[in-house]
A and B are shown apart, each in its own frame.
Chain A
């Protein structure tokens, strides 16, 4: 029992690590094709990572432990998240840690370390990026917590595996207003948290509009590779979390036999969601920074209405 759970979790972590850059490549490729360009192919992020991993990291003079520690901590938290979140299996050996509050905390820990590292470099763009990221984080965090509250209120537990299992047994639950509102709120928040359009432009070369990119301007070589890998892993995990919470079909229990099916279902669901996000991004422009709080306040209201309806519409 424990052995199979370990194997399933190991497969899950491997799939996330190997698949995350491919997801980013897929989203870029969709965008390129829709814009009429040939695109670099789905494997390009992996080729970039391989190139960066061969180069020695360079640390700017005057930076301290915060700058050096951040890539490792970011990858570390992402790996823990990949092991804890029920993407392929609900029988993770870390199940007791798979509390939604703990997961939100781990996500925030990664973001805060990167912001500290950006402040540590002492450059203007780093500080600007860090301050913007913290502004967004401060608005995103309450929304995630409230949306999670709406989902857990009906199940009676904040354990992720339990929420997923309950939804699997009762598929009509997904179509309830509480669940739909929470899904909309979480989707906006995931877009903001992973730095995609319309909150942040991941492909920008203009420092004044950067958020995530401004924080990692000073990284080079191996460190940059780790930061990029962690960012793509977070995107994969968050999209996977969305699909697990709202479309939980195919996720395996404790048995190994259901694992290939779960793998196929996970890849298909995340790829479709990634394709849809990539396609939508072609049609929208980045919001002005001062309009971002409006968007996030809207998602907070959605989450709050989700909680209200999960309590009052029973």
Chain B
């Protein structure tokens, strides 16, 4: 990889990273959301791998490999298993904020991220910090997905988007976190998804749907 094409590849990976986050808000189908999340995991791994190759750091490339396996492979697989195969559960039928409005909200959040990270980018302008706004935008969009969706599984995807964004921000702004911390976070993430998978199954057997609004009141 030459030094001239390095910013180009990084920009493309970051573009894909942000676009998949917007795509999650765009789609109703839960299976499509999971596919987009897997694609985003691949984009995140690509960002880290490009950084690693550019800095000639074997450690970063290995971390990228691990991230790719976990976020483009294992987590989407677990989420798909939690999805089950009942057709009534396959769609986000009535989100709290409708799709058109949440897309506009995503646009506003991206602009907010660009505005908020400008001082950070100005500290050390480089191609890597240049795409920091995209990572922060993914954090905000993930948080928005958590708030604006009803199904347990789409909230899980929102949470995972949030974490993808945080990981990308860490790698872009601080050239990565120590390997042991990254491993710990990844392990936590795996556990969270496993626990939520069990929770979704319990919800479905108890209420017949995975709509988290059903949990609003206490019953005996």
| Bind each other | yes
A→B interface (CB under 8 Å): 172, 175-177, 180-181, 293-294, 297-298, 300-302, 304-305, 308-309, 312-314
Residues on B with beta carbons closer than 8 Å to the beta carbon of A300: 103-104, 107
| Interface of A, helix, strand, loop or mixed by DSSP | helix
Known: A301-B106, A304-B107. A309 touches B15 (CB 8 A): yes
Q: A297-B104, A308-B114, A312-B130 are in contact. List 14 more A-B contacts (CB 8 A).
A: A172-B8, A177-B12, A294-B99, A297-B103, A298-B103, A301-B22, A301-B106, A305-B19, A308-B111, A309-B11, A309-B15, A313-B14, A313-B130, A313-B131
Residues on A with beta carbons closer than 8 Å to the beta carbon of B8: 172, 175-176
- Whether A180 lies near B130 (C-beta < 8 A) is no
Q: Mark B95-125, 1 if CB is under 8 A from A, else 0.
A: 0000110011011001100100000010000
- Whether A180 lies near B15 (C-beta < 8 A) is yes
Closest chain A residue to B102, Cβ basis: A297
B149 to A: closest C-beta gap in Å: 15
Total interface residues on B, CB under 8 Å, equals 23
Known: A294-B100, A297-B100, A305-B22. A313 touches B110 (CB 8 A): no
B28 to A: closest C-beta gap in Å: 9
Residues on B with beta carbons closer than 8 Å to the beta carbon of A308: 110-111, 114, 133
A67 to B: closest C-beta gap in Å: 34
A298 to B26 alpha-carbon distance, docked (Å): 7
- Whether B103 lies near A301 (C-beta < 8 A) is yes
- Whether A176 lies near B11 (C-beta < 8 A) is yes
A176 to B7 alpha-carbon distance, docked (Å): 10
Q: List 8 A-B contacts (CB under 8 A).
A: A181-B15, A294-B26, A294-B99, A301-B106, A304-B111, A305-B22, A305-B110, A312-B130
Shortest Cβ-Cβ A-B pairs, 7 listed: A177-B15, A297-B100, A297-B103, A294-B99, A304-B107, A301-B107, A301-B103
Closest chain A residue to B5, Cβ basis: A172
A300 to B102 alpha-carbon distance, docked (Å): 12
Residues on A with beta carbons closer than 8 Å to the beta carbon of B18: 305
